[in-house]
Structure 1
Amino acid sequence: MSDLSRLFEMPLLAGLPAERKQWLSANLTEHRLKKGEILLREGETVTHQFILLEGELVTEKRIAGRQVIDDTRAAPVSIAEASLLSGMPLPLTFVANTDCFLVALSEQVVRTLLNECESFSRQIFRSMYGRISAYDRFILSGEKLAALGRLSAGLAHELNNPAAAVARAAEGLRDSLDSLHQATRALVSSAMRADVMATLDEWASRTPPPLDATPQGALRRSEAEDAVAQWLSAHGIAKSWLIAPRLVAAGFSPQELAPVASSVTPEQFDAGIRWLAATFDMRFLSEQAWIGAGRISEIVKAMKSYSYMDQAPLQEVDIHTGIEDTLTIMQHRLKHGIVVKRDFDLALPPVPVYGSELNQVWTNLIDNAIDAMDQHGELTIRSRLEGNCALIEIGDTGHGIPADVLPRLFEPFFTTKPPGKGNGLGLHIAYRTVVHRHDGRINVESHADGTTFQVRLPLVQGHAATG
Structure 2
Amino acid sequence: MTSTTSSQPCDIDELRSLFLFEKLSDEQLAWLCEHGSVESYEPGLLLAEGDAARCFYSLIEGTLSMSKQVGGDEVEINRTSQRGAYVGAWGSYLGEHTEQRYNATVRIHAPSRFFVLSADDFSTAMHEWFPMAVHLLEGLFLGSRQRENTIGQRERLLALGSLSAGLTHELNNPAAAAVRATASLRDRVLHMRLKLKTIAGGAWDRTQLETLMELQDRAAEQVAKAPELSPLEASDREDALADWFDEHGFDDGYQLAPTFVQAGLDLDWLDKIADTVDDGMLGGAVHWLNYTLETELLMNEIEDSATRISTLVSAAKQYSQLDRAPHQLLDVHELIESTLVMLSRKIGPDVEVVRDYDRSLPDLPVYGAELNQVWTNLIDNALQAMDGHGTLTIRTSQVPDRDLVQVEIGDTGPGIPAEVIGRIYEPFFTTKPVGQGTGLGLDISWRIVVKKHHGDLSVTSVPGRTVFRVCLPMAGVAADTGVATGVATAVAPAAEPAVEGADRA
Task: Please give the TM-score of this superposition, normalised by the length of structure 1.
Answer: 0.68
The counterpart of 1:126, out of the listed 110, 128, 138, is: 138
Which residue of structure 1 aligns with residue 330 of structure 2? Answer: 317
Q: Is the 8 A contact 1:378 1:397 kept in 2?
A: yes
Q: Within the alignment, does 1:178 sit opposite 2:194 as a pair? A: no
Shift in alpha-carbon separation, 1:123–1:448, aligned structure 2, 3 A = closer
- Distance across 1 between alignment mates of 2:268 and 2:451: 72
Contact 1:224 1:248 in 2 (8 A): no
Task: Determine helix, strand or coil for the equivalent of 2:325.
Answer: coil
Q: Does 1:223 align with 2:239?
A: yes
> Of 419, 429, 451, which residue of structure 2 is paired with 1:404?
419
Q: Deviations over 1:304-356 (max 9, x none)?
A: 01111122212221111111211222222335122222222223222221110
Q: Give the gaps of 5 or more residues in structure 2.
A: 1-125, 482-503
Deviations 1:22-60 (A, max 9, x none): xxxxxxxxxxxxxxxxxxxxxxxxxxxxxxxxxxxxxxx
Change (3 A) 1:168 1:420: farther
CA deviations over 1:202-230 (Å, ceiling 9, x no partner): 33323146454534224324423542453
Instruction: Label 1:228 to 1:144 Cα distance change in 2 as closer, same or farther (>3 A).
Output: farther
Aligned twin of 2:39: none
Q: What secondary structure sits across from 2:394 in the alignment?
A: strand
Distance change in 2, residues 1:194/1:338 (3 Å): farther
Equivalent position SS for 1:133? helix
2:431 alignment partner, SS class: coil
**C-alpha contact 1:246 1:277 (8 A) present in aligned 2:** yes
CA distance in 2, matches of 1:132, 1:259: 80
Deviation, structure 1 residue 407: 0.9
For the pair 1:140 / 2:164, whether they are aligned, the reply is no
Question: Contact 1:388/1:458 (CA < 8 Å) preserved in 2?
Answer: yes
Matches within 5 A, 1:348-367: 348-367=361-380
Aligned to 2:208: 196
Change (3 A) 1:230 1:328: same
Determine the C-alpha separation between the residues in 2 that align with 1:385 and 1:255. 55
Distance 2:227 2:442 in 1: 43
Find the aligned partners of 2:288 and 2:270 in 1 and give their Cα distance. Answer: 14
Q: 1:263 to 1:166 in 2, by over 3 A?
A: closer
Q: 1:210 to 1:143 in 2, by over 3 A?
A: same
Q: Could you list the per-position Cα deviations for residues 250-275 of structure 1 after superposition, in whole angstroms to 9, with x for gaps in the alignment?
A: 34455643464466445522221121
DSSP-derived class of the 2:322 partner: coil
Q: What is aligned with 2:464?
A: 449
Distance 1:275 1:376, change over 3 A: same
From 280, 285, 288, the counterpart of 1:275: 288
Tell me the SS of whatever aligns to 1:452: strand
1:318 and 1:278 map into 2 onto residues whose CA distance is: 45
- The one-letter amino acid of 2:173's match is N
The answer for the alignment partner of 1:459 in structure 2 is 474
1:334 equivalenced with 2:347 (yes/no)? yes
Q: Judge conservation of contact 1:228–1:248 (CA < 8 Å) in 2.
A: no
Does residue 289 in structure 1 map to residue 305 in structure 2?
A: no
**Residues 226, 238 of structure 1: alpha-carbon distance in 2 compared, 3 angstrom cutoff:** closer
Name the CA shift for 1:255/1:321 in 2 (closer, same or farther; >3 Å). Answer: closer
Distance 1:428 1:139 in 2: 12
In structure 2, C-alpha distance between the alignment counterparts of 1:259 and 1:392, rounded to whole Å: 57
Do the aligned partners of 1:377 and 1:397 also contact (CA within 8 Å) in 2? yes
Cα 1:295–1:282 change in 2 (3 A) is same
The aligned residue for residue 443 of structure 2 is: 428
Amino acid at match of 1:279: T
SS in 2 for 1:378: strand
| Displacement of 1:124 | 4.7
Whole-Å separation in 1 of the counterparts to 2:323 and 2:264: 49
What letter is aligned with 1:456?
C
Aligned equivalents of 1:361 and 1:255: distance in 2? 56
Indicate the residue corresponding to 1:243 in structure 2. Answer: 256
Measure how far apart 1:455 and its partner are: 0.4
Percent identity of paired positions between Structure 1 and Structure 2 = 39
1:377 corresponds in structure 2 to: 390
Counterpart in 1 of 2:106? none
The residue identity in structure 1 corresponding to 2:312 is I
Contact 1:435–1:441 (Cα < 8 Å) also in 2? yes
Aligned-partner SS, 1:291? helix
Aligned mates of 1:317, 1:227 — CA distance in 2 = 57
Contact 2:386 2:413 in 1 (8 A): yes
Q: Partner residue of 1:388?
A: 403
Shift of 1:299: 0.8
CA distance in structure 1 between the partners assigned to 2:214 and 2:275 by the alignment: 18
User: Are the equivalent residues in 1 in contact too, given 2:242–2:253 (CA < 8 A)?
Assistant: no
Bigger relative contact order, structure 1 or 2, given CA contacts below 8 A and separation 6+?
2
Aligned residues: 350
Q: Tell me which residue corresponds to 2:312.
A: 299
List runs of 5+ in structure 1 lacking aligned partners. 1-113
Letter of the structure 1 residue corresponding to residue 328 of structure 2:
Q
In the alignment, the residues of structure 2 paired with residue 259 and residue 222 of structure 1 have an alpha-carbon distance, to the nearest angstrom, of: 18
TM-score when normalising by structure 2? 0.63
Deviation at 1:396, TM superposition (A): 1.7
* 3-state SS of 2:392 partner: strand
* Aligned match of 1:106: none
2:331·2:364 contact (CA, 8 Å) conserved in 1? yes
The amino acid across from 1:337 in the alignment is: D
